[in-house]
Amino acid sequence: MPDERKSMRSRNLKDALDACRSAARNAFSAAEPIYERVEKSLISFDRALARAKRAHNKLDDEKDKALNEAVGQLVGEQRQVIKDGFLELKDAQRRRKGELDDFNVMLFGRTMAGKSTTIEALTDADERSIGQGAPDFTRDIQGKVWEGLSLVDTPGLLGFTSDLTDIAESYIDRADLICMVLTDDTIEPTLFKKMKEVRGQNKRLLVLLNWKAANEPILDDEPEDAYDEDDVKAQIAEIRRRLAEVFPGEEAPVIHYCANAAFEARRATGERQRYLWEQSRMDAVLDEIARIVHEDGRAIRATAPFDGLMFFVQSIADDLHPQLVALRPQKKELERKQREAHRLFENLRAQSASELSTLKQHFLRVNSDLHEVAWEYARGERTESLGSALERAMDWPAVMRKINDLKDSVADGITHNLEHFQETVETDLEAVGSLALGGDFNEPECDRSRAKSASRWEKAGKIGKYLGMAAFGAVALAGGWWIVAGLAGGAAARYLGNKAIKHGKGNRARHQREIREEMKDKLWDTYRSLNDELYDWLQRSTNNAEEIVIKTLREIESASGLLLKHGDTLYDVLQEARHELSRESYRRLLNELHPAFCDGRVELIDASQWMQYRAKIVVAGAEKRPIAGLVIGKGGELIRPVRRHTGVPIDVIEYPPEGLCGKVVADALRPARVASTAVEVGVEIRVRVPKSDARHVFGQRKKNLRLAEDVLGRAIRIETGGQDWSSGRRPSLKKSEKKATGRRK
């Protein structure tokens, strides 16, 4: 190539790269505080995840499946994803800080596409970096410097499998310009899909079409056969069609050239070198790279720190949100389970307490039997101790069977009603399973002499009665006054005999009552002691089991609540960071690329973006006149460079002097068509739309509505014939609205 042209391009590149370095340093300094806020929130969230993981380990995989999945996804896979992403973010931030002076041009493409050959053609031509078809994956990216640019050869694009995605992203993160290298012999649809997968962030894209068919004709000095014009146009049209499928609205330049011819030119000399270089069309590639750096380099470097961080926070937020949504009802379910567990234990205690009445029935039957037993002792018919008789009457083995049945019933009730915690509860029941069960039984006393004394009085009375009556009867037979004496004596003997018999029976009855009362007292003392011990055991067992269950549920619920709290905080921080990063990125981008913003005719009020979806910018004019034309331009010519840089559609919202109104809201909800008369502006904005149009208002996963809320600073509620919908978010009055209002005043 002519030395004069080369020298001019070098000077232009040097000046442009100097400006790029300054823009990169300013942008990095502005993005650093946002990074620090995100880092702080991520650390707090990870601590909450660690606590939730400890609680999650107590869940049963089968019986707590829904809760397990909701919590497990966050504390397991999602936690690792966030941790890995955060480490990548820290590493990327460190790399950015060390590469503020570099402008990295990354060459992506399938293996053997000519990436290395292109780099070698521009640099030392020693063939050391030209691959032999085997993919090479590494995080240690070493670029070759050309004209102040760092040219980086990346692994074959199809070699980036799912397990190497993070490596691919580390390449992408460091790229300022992506050159997608294709060949005329293979243009695979998979390449474009893979490019979309690994590209991720807002990165400028340049397509290099390595026309291998030109190699032999050029080398054989037949340049007229090198590039068939119709074939080239057809290939470029096909590339543009496929680009439009994966990157809608993007107009990436497509340059065709012959990499090998350029490489051979570097090894030739004189006129042969000049001929090969010109025919390779490598100058067209270099001119396009130089043009991008010169025209868009400052914008690329000024937005790179914001876009890199924005891509991270957006990715984490998008992954985190469905997990938090799934966890929220599970936390309520845990609260319900605590109440249910308490009711179950209350019912179990009541049911078990009622079963104690069966034990009392047994003691009542024994109590009725004590009447006859006491008479046997009072009559002197029993010689065994009262304690032995009482224990036999109580049927202690039957009592033990009832007690064991009650214990089993309580244990079954606990484990059956709360199967989730069966092992934990059973262990607790074993610890309180022993009972004294009347071990301190004191035998009642029985005075056997009273039974003998009563028998003697009764026997003496009978003997005295009958003997006295017989003796005085004989006297009465003597006649005369003896008759009177005999009858009187007989009556006295009968009276005294009956008296002695009655005294003996009375003593026996009193003795029987005393024995019965003593046995009865001991019987009910034993029952009360046993009943109290059983009741205490029941309360202790169920209370301890309930405490374990409630404590476990409360611990999981508390950990889940903490997880939700920090998760919601992190999600809000991520969304606020995404919004702030968008605003700062667009502020720099527009000031670099758009003439109306450069000369102050238009001011950016606010901006928000969802990468790979769309962006919304709120603008105001320095003068009180419509400015949409100044921003968009005729046929979109003014906004097109901005769209090319971001790769997403951009909705321009004009903020009028009178402030927020229905038209501003309607514009913010584009591409949905909303009439300004259907908008009611207040503390909360209400918008009435037909149900069939609601999906356009919401957009993909409510992103369009969320972006509108970002830039308007108000919650927007959508009414569709009796149903209200919102993004589920309540943004505060945005700073930009306050600033815009204050500026107009």
Residues 6+ apart with CB under 8 A from 510: none
Domain encompassing residue 648: 594-744
Q: Residue 83: what pLDDT?
A: 75
Establish if 663 belongs to a structural domain. Answer: yes
User: Which secondary structure element, helix H or strand E, spans residue 179, and what is its range?
Assistant: strand 177-183
Evaluated on CA atoms 37, 40, 43, 45, the torsion sign reads: negative
Global pTM value: 0.68
Evaluated on CA atoms 29, 33, 38, 43, the torsion sign reads: positive
Establish if 462 belongs to a structural domain. Answer: no
Q: Residue 142: what pLDDT?
A: 60
- Ramachandran category for residue 441: left, alpha or beta (phi over 0 → left; psi -120 to 50 → alpha): beta
The C-alpha atoms of residue 434 and residue 53 are separated, in whole angstroms, by 36
Is residue 276's pLDDT more than 90? yes
Establish if 620 belongs to a structural domain. Answer: yes
The C-alpha atoms of residue 668 and residue 709 are separated, in whole angstroms, by 8
Say how many domains are in the chain.
1
Q: Residue 732: what pLDDT?
A: 46
Strand partners, 620: 603
Q: Residue 259: what pLDDT?
A: 93
Q: Residue 584: what pLDDT?
A: 92
Q: Residue 738: what pLDDT?
A: 44
CB 284 within 8 A of CB 255: yes
For 302-313, write each residue's pLDDT tens digit. Answer: 888 888 888 888
DSSP state for residue 443 in the 8-state scheme: P
Q: Residue 86: what pLDDT?
A: 74
DSSP 34-87: HHHHHHHHHHHHHHHHHHHHHHHTTS-TTTTHHHHHHHHHIIIIIHHHHHHHHH
In which residue are the tokens 């100097």 written?
18
Please, what is the average pLDDT of the chain?
Answer: 76
Is residue 525's pLDDT more than 70? yes
Q: Which of 239-248, 384-393, 491-500, 604-613 shows the lowest mean pLDDT across its residues? A: 491-500
Return the amino acid letter for 281.
R
What values do phi and psi take at 680, rounded to 5? -120, 115
- Count other Cβ atoms within 10 Å, centred on residue 571: 21
For 632-645, write each residue's pLDDT tens digit. Answer: 888 888 888 888 78
The C-alpha atoms of residue 714 and residue 676 are separated, in whole angstroms, by 16
Strand partners, 209: 182, 256
For 321-351, write each residue's pLDDT tens digit. Answer: 887 787 788 778 778 878 888 888 888 888 8
The C-alpha atoms of residue 697 and residue 637 are separated, in whole angstroms, by 27
Helices 79-98, 282-378: inter-axial angle, 10-degree rounding: 150
Return the amino acid letter for 238.
E
Strand pairing category for 685-688 and 679-680 = antiparallel
Establish if 740 belongs to a structural domain. Answer: yes
Q: Residue 54: what pLDDT?
A: 72
Establish if 191 belongs to a structural domain. Answer: no
Within 74-211, where are the H helices? Answer: 79-98, 115-122, 165-173, 189-199
Q: Which of 318, 317, 316 is nearest to 89 (CA)?
A: 316
For 149-198, write each residue's pLDDT tens digit. Answer: 888 887 766 655 555 555 666 677 778 888 989 999 877 777 787 777 66
Q: Residue 495: what pLDDT?
A: 57
Q: Which of 206, 236, 218, 234 is nearest to 109 (CA)?
A: 206
Q: What is the CATH number of the domain that holds 666?
A: 3.30.300.20
Establish if 628 belongs to a structural domain. Answer: yes
User: Which secondary structure element, helix H or strand E, spans residue 401, and what is its range?
Assistant: helix 396-417
Output the six-digit token pair for 22: 């300054």
DSSP state for residue 425 in the 8-state scheme: H
Within its chain, how far is the Cα of 295 from the centroid? 44
Establish if 702 belongs to a structural domain. Answer: yes
Higher pLDDT, 466 or 311: 311
Output the six-digit token pair for 33: 């505080």
The shares of helix, strand and coil residues in the chain, as percent rounded to the nearest 5, are 70, 10, 20
Q: Is residue 623 exposed (0-12), middle (13-18) or buried (19+ Cβ within 10 Å)?
A: exposed
Establish if 473 belongs to a structural domain. Answer: no
Higher pLDDT, 374 or 236: 236
The C-alpha atoms of residue 538 and residue 670 are separated, in whole angstroms, by 67
Higher pLDDT, 498 or 431: 498
Is residue 131's pLDDT more than 50? no
Output the six-digit token pair for 592: 């670099």
The C-alpha atoms of residue 391 and residue 441 are separated, in whole angstroms, by 10
CB 707 within 8 A of CB 725: no
Higher pLDDT, 711 or 124: 711
Output the six-digit token pair for 568: 């919601």
Q: Residue 685: what pLDDT?
A: 92
